[in-house]
A = this chain, B = another copy of it.
Amino acid sequence: MFKIVLLNNSRDKILFSQIMLKTQQTNELNKKLSDQIVTIGGWVQSRRDHGKLIFLDIRDQAGLVQAVASQAVSNEVYKTVKQLNNEDVVLITGEVKARPINLINSKIASGEIEIEVKSLKILAKSRHLPLDLNKTDLSVSLVTVLKHRSLALRHQKTRAIFKVQEQIVKSFREGLADLGFTEIFVPTIVPTATEGGAEVFEVKYYDKKAYLAQSPQLYKQIMVSVFEKVFTVAHAYRAEPSVTTRHLSEYISLDAEMGFVADFQDIMAIVAEVIKKIFSDLNSYCQAELGMFSNSTPQISENIPIIKLSQAQEIIFKRTKRDHRKELDLDPEDEKEICRWAKEEKGSELIFITHYPVPKRPFYTFPDPEDSKLTLSFDLLGRGLEWVTGGQRINDYNQLVTNIKKWGNKPENFKVYLEAFKYGLPPEGGFALGLERITMQILGLKNIREASLFPRDMERVDIKLVKN
């Protein structure tokens, strides 16, 4: 019977391979292993029959490798291989053969070699495929992609989206941890709507009513009183009553909050730092993935431009004659226009818009000391859409209580939140990034659903739900 071994070093991947079925991942196969016997496992990406030779492309988590079954080597193996279909899962033991220089495939990590199949075991059979995973692009409608979500996720370009997403989160965490932020885990079942508004999902909580958090906002603010600087990767829920290409009913919110800020611009400086780290890491670690998409990471100037909402409206008016100078917010067309301006005039695909009016921001937003109709808030726009939202928060207990009432809520529903301020909380602020939103914007995806493994919207939760 197999013995449990405590690995001595978590980087000891050789030992790890020994306890699994395979000895190598495809990206570990190269000329140095020539003439050695290896065991690889993966999915049949494609099969090409050439008389007495059959070529297989085998896909695993790391990439592709070519395997060759030859009738001359083993007729039995050859016959098994001839029956293989795409997406069958196989375990192949074979000999690593260096390819002649003219046959090296530089597009794949294992392109120096191929595997001569000695034995093959079918681990799982696939049914007939409704999608062709071999195409560079899936080239089917989003409806079809979502209908066959589990299968579509295997396509190399779809996988790439989620490798990029993994890196974005990693960079977000690492960047903030390096700056002394503590990671926290906060609940998603809440007693009341955090951000106000009706767009909140109700939960049947035992024999009572609770809600799904619209954001981790209130909890991250409380935690400033404990750890000063905190971040969290949280699930957030918005009962958006419309179907758009930019909204999900459940999404991942990358949230940070920090105390002892001198000014709300400090918060923007941290946003800029985090965004810059994300771009730089993506360019370092996700080159192959980025290369599959027409977009690259946005161009940013050394200093990301910062303008007030009123200035933005003025600029838009001058450029387009569209007079939105009395509006309380930018509409989608305005957001696109001001991004165009930033790129053309400032060489930056990102721009901060600040000083949004009070009615457009939640109850906890810090009023502008110079104009009480405005707030010390900002959005970071990029490529025509909001990427980040943030600002300074009210940290005075009495002022918060007043605002909660003014916004039509009951202070007793915010007891745990208010306590943090009652016993002293420094000037603070923070920001939030929608993970799927920035994944979409960096890669230039057309619909935010493409950037969510299993997107939730008004119409579906994996399957079409039955009405009550």
Q: Which residues of A contact B (CB under 8 A)?
A: 1-7, 10-11, 13, 16, 19-22, 25, 41, 43, 60-62, 87-89, 91, 123-127, 129, 148-151, 153-154, 159, 162-163, 165-166, 169-170, 174-175, 178-180, 182-191, 201-210, 212, 219, 222-223, 225-229, 233, 235, 237, 239, 241, 249-250, 252, 258, 260-263, 265-266, 268-269, 272-273, 276-277, 300, 302-304, 306, 352, 395-397, 412-413, 415-417, 419-427, 435, 452-454, 456, 458, 461-463, 465-468
Contact = CB atoms under 8 A, between A and B. Distances in A.
Nearest to A44: B424
B273 A423 contact: no
Grouping DSSP codes into helix (H, G, I), strand (E, B) and loop, the A interface class, with mixed when no group exceeds half, is mixed
A185 B455 CA distance: 11
A250 B184 contact: no
A434 to B, nearest CB: 12
Contacts of A452: 187
B424 A125 contact: yes
The quantity of this chain's copies bound in the complex is: 2
A191 B426 contact: no
Contacts of A306: 4
B206 A458 contact: yes
Most chain B C-beta atoms within 10 Å of own C-beta, residue among A13, A163, A417, A462: A462
Contact of A124 (B154, B395, B417): B395
Nearest to A62: B180
Given A6-B303, A189-B456, A277-B10, A201 B203 contact: yes
A87 to B, nearest CB: 5
A313 to B, nearest CB: 20
A203 to B, nearest CB: 5
Contacts of A425: 89, 124
A183 to B, nearest CB: 5
Contacts of A227: 61, 159, 162
B250 A187 contact: yes
A420 B150 contact: yes
Nearest to A201: B203
B208 A468 contact: yes
B21 A260 contact: yes
Contacts of A212: 189, 203
A123 B4 contact: no
